[in-house]
Amino acid sequence: MRMMKNKENQIITVIGVDHGYGNMKTACRCFQAGVTRYEKEPTFQNNLLVYQGVYYQIGEEHKEFRAEKTEDEDYYILTLAAVASELESKGVDQAKVHLAAGLPLTWVSSQKETFRDYLLQNAVVDFVFRGKAYHVEFIGADIFPQGFAAVAYHLQEFKGINMLADIGNGTMNIMYINNSRPVEKKCFTEKYGTHQCVLAVREQLLRRMGAVVDDLVIEQVIRKGTADIGEKYLDVMKAAAKDYTAEIFRKLREHEYNPELMRLYVVGGGGCMIENFGDYVRNRVTIIHDICAATKGYEMLAVRKIQKNGGRLI
């Protein structure tokens, strides 16, 4: 989050929010993108958000994939939790907030206005998160392309022809960046993220071992390449993850990926899947491990836009 004065000389707080299907991210916080609604106060309240008399438990499960993030109220509630998490990290409980968010590359042009209106549906919001009351005035929002934002702060490194693959929980966004410039006509979105890998591993375990394994264990194997489980189960999971990762590279080749002619940059949570199970030329692929890279990029791009309109950092 960044503090600025806008052209009206108001002190505003720019907060980047990455609305993932698996995790919500801010510049310094990450939590699971799940919302469970309760009409009455629940017993466990570690991540409880209270808004308009309704109780929301945050982060108990992943968000179901939806092509339109505005179809229900979940991402609005998750946005409030993300804003509160950022404000809490700075010891602040009220602010005038300018949101910086993103959408998959090929969805930005058609959905950004709807998503912006969704995020700004209430100008003033009072709510409670983790037992602390917040008062937030939403004064603006900018929507940027997901994958591009994750590397926007070091575009000068993208010499020659480069492919960027942003592998999230629900989608994989592909973009060409040639000589530090994004190629708008070569942007693609595939419904092929880490959650689909979890489903593929789960299916293989059921088929070959007759066992149902908690998704937390599968996700640990994807992230770390191992888990504290029996070797025969681990072998099945690793083999399924390797097959799925090979399919990712096949999809990249469908979009003309050639490691001898270009460099590949991988961002998002799926980077660990590539690193652990991918078969690739190591010196031709760069994996950006910062899971909050996109959010930091959103903030940087929003700050630049506000500065061009007469704002300034403080």
Residue-by-residue DSSP string for 218-257: HHHHHHHS--SS-HHHHHHHHHHHHHHHHHHHHHHHHTT-
Q: What is the pLDDT of residues 207-216, one digit of tens each?
A: 999 999 999 9
Q: How far is CA 299 from CA 13, 15, 157, 225, in A?
A: 10, 6, 20, 32
pLDDT for 265-313, tens place per residue?
A: 999 989 999 999 999 999 999 999 998 999 999 999 999 999 998 988 8
Torsion angle of the four alpha carbons 244, 144, 24, 175, in this order, in degrees rounded to the nearest 10: 10
Domain assignment of residue 252, given as a range: 154-194+228-287
Is residue 193 within 8 Å of residue 64, measured between CB atoms? no
Given a contact cutoff of 8 angstroms between Cβ atoms, the answer to whether 292 and 272 are in contact is: no
- Considering the domain architecture, whether residues 33 and 64 belong to the same structural domain is answered as yes
Question: Is residue 186 located within the same domain as residue 86?
Answer: no
Shared domain for 106 and 186, answered yes or no, is no
**What is residue 206's three-state secondary structure?**
helix
Same domain for 87 and 134, yes or no, is yes
Model confidence pTM above 0.85: yes
Claim to verify: residue 70 and residue 186 sit in the same structural domain: no
Mean pLDDT of 150-159: 88
Nearest to 193 by CA among 64, 289, 72, 34: 64
